Amino acid sequence: MNDAAPAPQVETIDDHARFVAWLRQVAPYVHAHRGRTFVVAFSGGLVEAGGLNRLVHDLSLLSAMGIRLVLVHGSRPQVQAQLVLKGVPARFHADVRITDSAALECAKEASGEIRLDIEAAFSQGLPATPMAHSKVRVVSGNFVTARPLGVIDGVDYALTGVVRKVDADAIKFTLANGAIVLLSPLGFSPTGEAFNLTMEDLACSVATAIKAEKLILLTETDGIRGADGELKSELSVQDAEAMLSAAAVKGDPAFNLKYAVKACKGGVARAHILPYSLDGGVLAELFTHDGVGTMVSPENLEKMREATPDDVGGVIKLIEPLEADGTLVKRPRELIEREIDRFVVLEHDGFIFGCAALYPFPREHMGELACLTVHPDYQGYGDGERLMKRIEQRARAAGITSLFVLTTRTAHFFIKRGFRPATVDDLPEARQNMYNWQRRSQVLLKQI
Ligand SMILES: CC(C)(COP(=O)(O)OP(=O)(O)OC[C@H]1O[C@@H](n2cnc3c(N)ncnc32)[C@H](O)[C@@H]1OP(=O)(O)O)[C@@H](O)C(=O)NCCC(=O)NCCS
């Protein structure tokens, strides 16, 4: 820039800084999701409400990030409209449509129309729109075999069906070739008959069959709410099942939750229930810590666990900025790789956001708590203390009786948690020899 150039507006610098900070914040999730397979199901209500184009923009962005997508659309309001148009009465039992041959024709017409709309939306490429340069291929096909739901409680559901088999290999092959797979809620029997399926059954069966990482249900339900009316941003399968059996969730949310649980039990890592009405809901759910709907997962999502060699990259990314500003002492990368089993990590949906390490000095029954770090966006929720306690447990199990920490900026955190100031002479001899007199870290010690 030359001297005459106008000074940038403060507002511009702020905007720039916010943008960069935001992009850096989502980066770990981009890494975590790349190459994964997500099944995204959206109800016909989204199409009816005019939300298709916006959703397609978001999905093509996910596809550009290397996420493999299977889309399943619903068609309930469209089928309803066709029935009204033809003067055919709609019949339901226990909230499930009874599909006679007239209703099946309506379902086929509705699906055909929605499918074409989706394909058209993915084919847009106007310059200066989110779809410019997107080149997304969409493939549909006879991937699903169905069977009749049958007669239940004396009610014959006729051509209403359930999924019998999914051609997982064909779907995976199509995804591996870079296309998005699009499925309509119709399945075919080996005798060539068509059956009307529910979007949720189809999406859940496909997600389970292809072992997708995520099932995302975009419906009228805005997520699952507890007894106090608060939205649950995360639910374990166990808690979700307890809510269902206590009838603490009813109607559409219960229907969605039932399939979310079924998917997780069938090996899908996470199932998300989101409102389709929220513009950008899928992106917010996938790229922010709390999301916007409810995520169901087989175990508590925030996992504290022993680190594995796969975590080296995540740990380095986490501690790098703190090494750069001098909060943590710089560790050679090979050392972290070699000593990764000394670390415990906190992981959220594939993203490492906390770590700590234990370096034992067995002869002195002492151990060093090192590298305790929680990502700045997630500090203040008790995770630092949880990591510290986990290291204490590990130390006790290894016969260590006193734990020490060397810190330049975080002494009060440790003092508040039972550490006492000590001197370099109190350290094991080997550690004294390695003490960095330039850094002049404070030594804190705790009997455990
Ligand atoms: C220290 C650290 C791990 C705490 O993580 P955290 O998840 O926020 O911890 P918790 O939620 O359990 O505890 C938060 C408490 O720590 C306090 N705290 C955080 N950083 C602190 C610091 N540098 N000095 C003193 N106290 C600090 C907070 O004020 C808060 O206090 P409160 O309990 O009175 O509310 C985190 O701040 C961090 O990663 N810091 C940078 C790395 C570092 O300094 N590590 C220690 C060197 S080994």
**225-257 residue pLDDT tens:** 988 888 998 898 989 999 999 999 999 999 999
Q: Whose CA is nearest to atom 14 of ligand 1?
A: 380
What's residue 7's pLDDT?
47
Task: Enter the tokens of residue 46.
Answer: 């989204």
Q: How far is the CA of 338 from the centre of ligand 1 (A)?
A: 27
For the cut 70, the answer to whether the pLDDT of residue 408 exceeds it is yes
For the cut 80, the answer to whether the pLDDT of residue 300 exceeds it is no
For the cut 80, the answer to whether the pLDDT of residue 9 exceeds it is no
Mean pLDDT value across residues 5-33: 75
Between residues 169 and 190, which one has the greater pLDDT?
Answer: 169
Q: Is the pTM of this model over 0.75?
A: no
Task: Enter the tokens of residue 223.
Answer: 């997520």
Q: What rounded mean pLDDT belongs to the chain?
A: 91
Q: How far is the CA of 301 from the centre of ligand 1 (A)?
A: 22
Q: How far is the CA of 296 from the centre of ligand 1 (A)?
A: 30
Q: How far is the CA of 361 from the centre of ligand 1 (A)?
A: 25
Distances, alpha carbon 46 to alpha carbons 137, 201, 410, in Å: 22, 18, 50
pLDDT in tens, 83-137: 999 998 989 988 889 999 999 999 999 999 999 999 999 998 777 777 777 788 9
CATH of the domain spanning 12-300: 3.40.1160.10
Q: 3-state DSSP call for residue 145?
A: strand
Instruction: Place domain 304-447 in its CATH homologous superfamily.
Output: Gcn5-related N-acetyltransferase (GNAT) (3.40.630.30)
Is residue 346 packed enough to be buried (19+ CB in 10 Å), middle (13-18) or exposed (0-12)? buried
Mean pLDDT value across residues 272-294: 91
For the cut 80, the answer to whether the pLDDT of residue 301 exceeds it is no
Between residues 94 and 421, which one has the greater pLDDT?
Answer: 421
Cβ < 6 A, ligand 1 pocket: 322, 327, 372-374, 379-385, 405, 407, 409-410, 412-413
Q: 3-state DSSP call for residue 215?
A: strand
Mean pLDDT value across residues 361-367: 97
Q: Whose CA is nearest to atom 44 of ligand 1?
A: 410
Q: What are phi and psi of 270, to 5 degrees?
A: -145, 145
Is residue 339 packed enough to be buried (19+ CB in 10 Å), middle (13-18) or exposed (0-12)? middle
For the cut 80, the answer to whether the pLDDT of residue 284 exceeds it is yes
**Side chain identity at residue 173, one-letter code:** F
Q: How far is the CA of 270 from the centre of ligand 1 (A)?
A: 30
Ligand 1 atom closest to residue 409's alpha carbon, by position in its atom list: 23
Domain boundaries of the chain, sorted by first residue: 12-300, 304-447
Q: Which of 22-31, 139-148, 325-334 has the highest mean pLDDT?
A: 139-148
User: What percent of the chain is modeled with pLDDT above 90?
Assistant: 75
Q: How far is the CA of 292 from the centre of ligand 1 (A)?
A: 27
In a mutational test of the pocket of ligand 1, which residue from 319, 407, 410, 441 has the highest number of ligand atoms less than 8 Å from its CB? 410
Ligand 1 atom closest to residue 383's alpha carbon, by position in its atom list: 7
